[in-house]
Structure 1
């Protein structure tokens, strides 16, 4: 079966990680695979080094490069795929507009409860266009039940939508004792010190100001805690958080920036947190941390509560006090054993194998 897997770019992000895992592990005997991006991205070389696929960077020259439309349309006519599976707004729309008539199309939805007003007029337009054209798509694969419910409420045609939760490569995301030792030595963490981590881009939806306020209260009450944030993004939000943290900023609260090898850092964490206020569907960072034996304190956004189950602590979003109390409670639990239980939960429920089997089945169903 001739398929195209398409995404806007291969920059750092949860959707991009899931896309790359799909390309890596999808059956190269069942499927003749072409991978398309608009812009390439910092993880492009990972895709280029995957055997058994064809990779094409369409080299879109910015948001208003409309020649891209004709370039993509020509490519799809040449490939004449049985199925296109596209990820995220822009690529979803262009794949619909450019595909050959007989080609089946699957859209990938990743988010829930998005406040589009925070992302500008172009994002609002893309969202509205997807809603208007959602009835013309053969299938929608959402990564969470929350995503399907959100899009239904917003007026999308979701009768053809199914949930396939993200899959975690539990061989990659596992606690590495040597990496843990390196991390703890580098940041002067003693045996009884506790490392708490958040892995998320600095964005409105991720709740960094709330997390920073809760973190400050934790640091005031626990001298043996250090907190680490991995992710780049909005400099204004980061500045706001730095002001909140005061003297703890970059002393006890360490900003590590963007990282491609996040699995090495998870190994150093004792506890992880997700403070998202909206927009999450299935949080990769929660599942990845759990797979690395870091139990999680999460806000009740998207399918986060479903991911942690009875292995973590779930709190209300947008509440500094609730998040503080949740982290405080986790510090005083047996988080080491809870971490082992967390990894077991991911292996049993959210493995990459489960995701791949279901995805391949749904692609094949499109043309049956």
Structure 2
């Protein structure tokens, strides 16, 4: 909200609590829509799609665009309220939205399968600012300094001069499967691979007893730095040797594109559109498979610095060709113009 406000975009705070929307919240949002009279209403993710869609229909005939950021609806990995909301949205998809934007092809296919209106589904990938995310030769030095300043948030890591740094930027959530990465780290230690791990994201700090317990059980306390939420992710990313994503579910994970734009090769699980994003510039492994994850990381470690640099340069070029922010913005602009032209 603060960044949008600083850029001159009006931000309205509705004062709603998380969870099931209260009827009063829908009414307040309806009143706001009538007041500001937008040309298009775009909502992001299931709860906002449901809440915003209902409020928009109550307020009038402003065209609505839903946006879906999810591609894993396995009951083991989702809250019941999330699954329920997705099913309700599927039922309403023929009545409320004019278009439904998915961030990945995997997401489009999954939501078509559960009943979303296939005629309205389309894919627009995420875009990346290549000026904000770019290689920086000073990145590693800056990361070393950040790690030193954040030692109290670490489990107890120690890095040597030749230690490779592997990073994962993800909130602590079942979908991200941090345990998979921790178990892979344990295997890498057994194999004698000299590497440390820096983790960033909400809930990823030493106060997280579950995560700290996994790290302790794997015997890798001296290999992890837990930095919690950060607002300097581009700086940290440029200092990595390898970026990792151990998820069981993703749509279109920004962290992969951001790392690739920084010329950092990636190892990711084969969920969502990860394989399509990374292509042949990194390694893709099955989810929930620490052996495969560790093996792919070891492969990138053993190819040496020049091999990783070649992958990194190819990765940035792939982002430039497929996901450059300006081209994605143009696709959204075209969508908005199309939807406004369809207004009743």
For Structure 1 versus Structure 2, the TM-score category normalised by the shorter chain is 0.7 to 0.9
Bigger shift: 209-218 or 113-122? 113-122
Distance 1:275 1:61 in 2: 30
Q: 1:363 aligns with which of 325, 336, 342?
A: 336
Q: 2:172 aligns with which of 202, 208, 215?
A: 202
Counterpart among 319, 323, 333 of residue 289 in structure 2: 319
Residues 339 and 190 of structure 1, relative CA distance in 2, 3 Å threshold: farther
- 1:162, 1:223 → 2: CA distance? 43
Alpha-carbon spacing, 1:236–1:140, altered in 2? closer, same or farther (3 Å):
farther
**1:273-352 maps to which residues of 2 (within 5 A)?**
273-278=244-249, 280-333=250-303, 334-352=307-325
Which has the higher mean CA deviation after the structures are superposed, 345-354 or 110-119?
A: 110-119
How far off is 1:260 after superposition? 1.9
Q: Specify the SS of the correspondent of 1:344.
A: helix
Checking the alignment, whether the CA contact within 8 Å between 2:73 and 2:83 is kept in structure 1 is: no
1:236 to partner: Cα distance: 6.1
Q: Tell me the residue number matched to 2:235.
A: 264
Equivalent of 1:226 in 182, 196, 202: 196
- TM-score normalized by structure 1? 0.82
**CA–CA distance in structure 1, aligned partners of residues 184 and 162 of structure 2:** 21
**Which one is further off, 150-159 or 232-241?**
232-241
- Three-state SS of the structure 2 residue aligned to 1:165 is coil
Residue 215 (structure 2) pairs with residue 215 (structure 1): no
Q: How does 1:148-167 map to 2 (within 5 A)?
A: 148-167=108-127
User: What is the distance in 1 between the residues matched to 2:180 and 2:139?
Assistant: 30
Corresponding residue for residue 169 of structure 1: 129
CA distance in 2, matches of 1:124, 1:196: 33
Q: Is the 8 A contact 1:202 1:237 kept in 2?
A: no
Q: Is the 2:127–2:324 Cα contact (8 Å) retained in structure 1?
A: yes
Q: TM-score, normalised by structure 2?
A: 0.88
In the alignment, the residues of structure 1 paired with residue 210 and residue 248 of structure 2 have an alpha-carbon distance, to the nearest angstrom, of 14
Contact 2:246-2:269 at 8 Å conserved across structures? yes
Is there any run of 5+ residues in structure 1 with no aligned partner, and where?
Answer: 1-43
Q: 1:322 to 1:157 in 2, by over 3 A?
A: same
Q: Is the 8 A contact 2:142 2:236 kept in 1?
A: no
Mapped partners of 1:359, 1:123: distance in 2: 26
Correspondence 1:82-231 to 2 at 5 A: 82-99=39-56, 100-136=59-95, 137-185=97-145, 186=147, 189=159, 191-222=161-192, 224-231=194-201
Is contact 1:219–1:226 with CA below 8 Å preserved after alignment?
no
Give the counterpart of 1:54 among 7, 10, 13.
10
Q: 1:45 maps to what in 2?
A: 2
What's the secondary structure of 2:131's corresponding residue? coil
SS of aligned partner of 1:363: helix
Equivalence for 1:37: none
Provide the aligned C-alpha RMSD in A.
Answer: 1.9
Task: State how far apart, in whole Å, the 1-side matches of 2:311 and 2:77 are.
Answer: 36
Q: Deviations over 1:195-216 (max 9, x none)?
A: 1111111111112111111111
Contact residue 134 and residue 158 of structure 1 kept, 8 A: no
C-alpha separation between the residues in 1 aligned to 2:77 and 2:280?
33
- Shift of the 223–119 alpha-carbon distance from structure 1 to 2, 3 Å rule, reads closer
